[in-house]
Structure 1
Amino acid sequence: MFQAVNQIKKTGEMHLFKSHNPKYKDGEQLRDFVYVKDIIDALIFMMTKKSENGLYNLGSGIARTFNDLVNTTFEAMNIRSNISYIDTPLDIRATYQYFTQADMSKLQSAGYNKSFITLEDGVNDYVKNYLLTRQYF
């Protein structure tokens, strides 16, 4: 987000990787974006609940597109969306992940049932209250 906001402020546009997979349009690659405030809440829950040891996935559990993320960033900055798509570098193209989404069932079965902040609300909060105001902490 920090780099995206700075790129948009400097150039008025955002670069995203093109899709080199026919199943996905440019910018429609999917990630499970999660806001740091949700991560902190889940970690505090795990520390205070004394849940079973092990590995837990942590994400929103909902995959969203890079286009969603960037368009929401433009909206938070009150700038019209302007996305250009660039080739994915050859050295990562063959192993690039087009879809990631956390399976939250283990955390939920441990008793964590708090709703995660939506992509739109998280981006708006972070961009407007931290990045644009340069209040990073």
Structure 2
Amino acid sequence: MEQEFAAFVDGRFTDFQRLGYLLTGDWRVAEKLVYAAFAKVRRSAGWERAAQVALVRASLRWWRPPYVGDELLQSLSRRTRAMVVLRYYAELPDGDIAEIMGCSVAAVRTRFSRVPTGRTSRRPFHRLG
């Protein structure tokens, strides 16, 4: 099991670090949060989902100065930003986002209905991937 987990971490670390960066806007913090998420889920079943949940929830607790990246992402609350990253970067369906965020599918959809879309794109966050 230890070798399988090590292979999982080796294979997925970069993707989780990118997800962490999109959630926090800071590569060093993202790396720390990813390591913490992997340490937390080491003995869990379903490492992928458990690590996503741990990383997103840790990023919601982490305080940070305003992110200086994409203006649309910068303007979002932490929870909304996490949902946007999970939908457009991780390409997760609403049900999975709701599970990770600890809310209902209706809450996810309501939050997305209120996200500013920008004037030039119907899918403003397509550059996240």
How high is the TM-score relative to the length of structure 1? 0.28
- Pick 1 or 2: higher relative contact order, CA cutoff 8 A, min separation 6: 1
1 or 2, which has the higher strand percentage? 1
Tell which structure's C-alpha radius of gyration is larger: 1
